[in-house]
Amino acid sequence: MSLLNLFRNINPYVKPYKGLVFLTLFLTLIGALTAQVNAWVLRYTVDQIAFLLEQHKLLKEGLSIMATISIILVTKEIVNSLLVFGQKYYGEKLRIYVARDLAQTVIEKVLTYRLAFFTSNGNQPGKLQTRIDRGIESLTRLVQNFFIDILPLFANSIVALIMMFNANFYVGLVGLCIIPIYFYLSIRQANRMSGSRRNIKDLREVKSHGILNILESITVIKSFIREDLETEKQLTLQNDLTDTQMKVRKLSFLYDGLKNFTEQIGIVIIIILTAYLVLTGQMTIGAIMFHIMLFNNVSAPIRQLHRIYDQMNDALIYSESFFDILKADHETEPSGTYKPEKIAGKFEVKNVNFTYPGNKERTLFNINMEVLPGKSTALVGLSGAGKSTVINLLDKFYQPDSGEILLDGVSLKRYDTTFLRDNIGLVLQKNHIFNGTIEENIRYGNPHASLEEVMNAAKKSYIHEQIMNLPNKYQTSALTLSGGQQQKIAIARMFLKNPPIIFLDEPTASLDAISTEQIKNSLDAIKKDRTVITISHSISQIIDSDCIYVMKNGYIVESGTHEQIYHLDGTYKEIFDAMARSLNIDKISKTFE
């Protein structure tokens, strides 16, 4: 991204604060003028004192000069303090406001993106977070520095340069010659460092992702005593990061030295030139200090050039990936406009093929299904067969590569996505609990529900009594609940939502036998007049289904009722017999004899 593009991109976020920008610019201009006062005063003082000494006058005569310069300098400092305060305060205000707007916009935007965006390689949780945080930080720092550092410094520099030329053309020329050398060195420095900076950015993203992974998998790490392995992985990363950082620092110190040398040469030339002008009677002695101070005013901002350049480079690097996130409009969830008054819930899947974005291998092949409302449908198959993927397509999380999915005779593509999801209840195997209280977690199913309705939903999923036994009841943190209890919370949420279409992905996987039976009864009760698709590895969930689809390696290989497909002697029989054997049915039936 070029600097021009960067400013073009950030412009809409700065525009609403035009007033603040103009105020800061105005203060900057005044600040640039007051910054030159010291040089003037010093020249005046030296010349006046030199004159008094020439006249052999003593302290008495000098008092009025001292009083004058004291008044001027104190007044200037008071004005300057107010100006600096105003500049910093309004600059900071601008930064904070822009940071807030950027953060809010990126969250709003990211929430509209389709699921594939979040599973793609650059957007895994830690990486995405680093890209967003660093992007906002570097962009807002750039905005702030532009108004607090860059503008005032360069305004100072230009005013000082004009004054140097005004004092003497050759003195001004020395000041002017130093600038391109400084620019050249700073730009070379920045260019040589930009590759390493990009590396640092990538390594930081990987590091955050790694730390997040450790935290998420801490139980596994500890149980397999793989702390050393994880430490080793982090160490390699850390070493790479340190090496790159050191490389950047080394280059930085080298160029700083060169720039410092250039500046000192400039000062030496100014001193010699001015001394010559004073000795040849073209100037008064006060000009020596005057010129050095002006030169300092010219070189001080340029000394900051590489820092500002660094920040701009940081902003360019991080903003590139930040604006990539913000502008990923192609990732926006596709949506139609169709919103029927009522959804009956008949799904027809016709010749659907599907490949996950970024995957080479196809996941679903020529899927044909009919799911009827009022009937229960089960998806059965070995792990990885593609059952959850079918649900993902029916929920419009992903689009098929080819083929068509119809709901009540209308293509799913034409449906308004928000409306569609509002009519679907999805209970997942895992990751369904948010950081919040039990009440908040259940209410997620219907934000407008009363506490009584929340409790009724909890009763239907047989968790109410357990909640009431907790010290903080419905205000207990849901994350402290057991896996099975959390699953019941997710089911309660679905009951509260009360949608006409229900997808259950192994809804009772973490439940004990009694809870499974209770939940099964509750689910059976609400299944009436709804479309229900259940993915399950449990006989009890499957056997009563009106229609069972059996999946293998991404294909539907059998379909029908339990009785129909069992006698096909195919995959279903294989799976079913294995399930029965794993339950040790022989021994169970002997127990009941």
The tokens describing 552, both together, are 């293998």
CB of 506 to ligand ATP, least distance (A): 7
- The pattern of x and - marking residues 314 through 343 that bind ligand ATP according to CB under 6 A reads ------------------------------
Residue selected from 131, 207, 387, 488 as contacting ligand ATP according to rule CB under 6 A: 387
CA 173 to the chain's CA centroid: 48
Q: How far apart are CA 47 and CA 53, in angstroms?
A: 10
Closest to ligand ATP by CB, 242 or 359: 359
Q: What is the 3-state secondary structure (H, E, C) of 356-388?
A: CCCCCCCCEEEEEEEECCCCEEEEEECCCCCHH
- Please give the helix or strand (H or E) that residue 32 lies within, else none: helix 18-34
CB of 195 to ligand ATP, least distance (A): 32
Closest to ligand ATP by CB, 135 or 507: 507
CB of 489 to ligand ATP, least distance (A): 21
First to last CA, the chain: 77
Identify which range of 126-134, 217-225, 387-395, 453-461 contacts ligand ATP by CB under 6 A. Answer: 387-395
CB of 102 to ligand ATP, least distance (A): 29
Closest to ligand ATP by CB, 280 or 383: 383
Closest to ligand ATP by CB, 317 or 385: 385
| Beta strands 547-552 and 555-560, pairing class | antiparallel
Residue selected from 126, 345, 381, 507 as contacting ligand ATP according to rule CB under 6 A: 381
CB of 131 to ligand ATP, least distance (A): 20
Q: Any contact of residue 487 with ligand ATP (CB under 6 A)?
A: no
Residue selected from 386, 425, 445, 499 as contacting ligand ATP according to rule CB under 6 A: 386
330: Cβ–Cβ under 8 A, 6 or more apart, which residues?
none
The tokens describing 262, both together, are 């250039």
Rg of the chain, C-alpha, whole Å: 36
Integer CA distances (angstroms), 142 to 3, 24, 182, 273, in order: 11, 15, 21, 38
Judged by CB under 6 A, the number of residues near ligand ATP is 12
CB of 113 to ligand ATP, least distance (A): 14
Closest to ligand ATP by CB, 238 or 538: 538
Q: How far apart are CA 384 and CA 390, in angstroms?
A: 12
The tokens describing 418, both together, are 């928000």
Residue selected from 9, 80, 296, 388 as contacting ligand ATP according to rule CB under 6 A: 388
DSSP string, 508-555: TTT--HHHHHHHHHHHHHHHTTSEEEEE-S-HHHHHT-SEEEEEETTE
Q: Any contact of residue 538 with ligand ATP (CB under 6 A)?
A: no
CB of 503 to ligand ATP, least distance (A): 12
Closest to ligand ATP by CB, 467 or 491: 491
Total residues found in the chain within this entry: 593
Closest to ligand ATP by CB, 347 or 462: 347
CB of 123 to ligand ATP, least distance (A): 12
Site for ligand ATP in 110-129 (CB under 6 A): 119
| Sign of the torsion angle spanned by Cα atoms 559, 561, 567, 571 | positive
The tokens describing 102, both together, are 């950027």
The tokens describing 367, both together, are 């899927």
Closest to ligand ATP by CB, 94 or 427: 427
CB of 519 to ligand ATP, least distance (A): 19
User: What is the SS3 assignment for 502?
Assistant: strand
Site for ligand ATP in 351-380 (CB under 6 A): 356, 359, 363
Q: Any contact of residue 383 with ligand ATP (CB under 6 A)?
A: yes
Residues in contact with ligand ATP by CB under 6 A are 119, 356, 359, 363, 381, 383-389
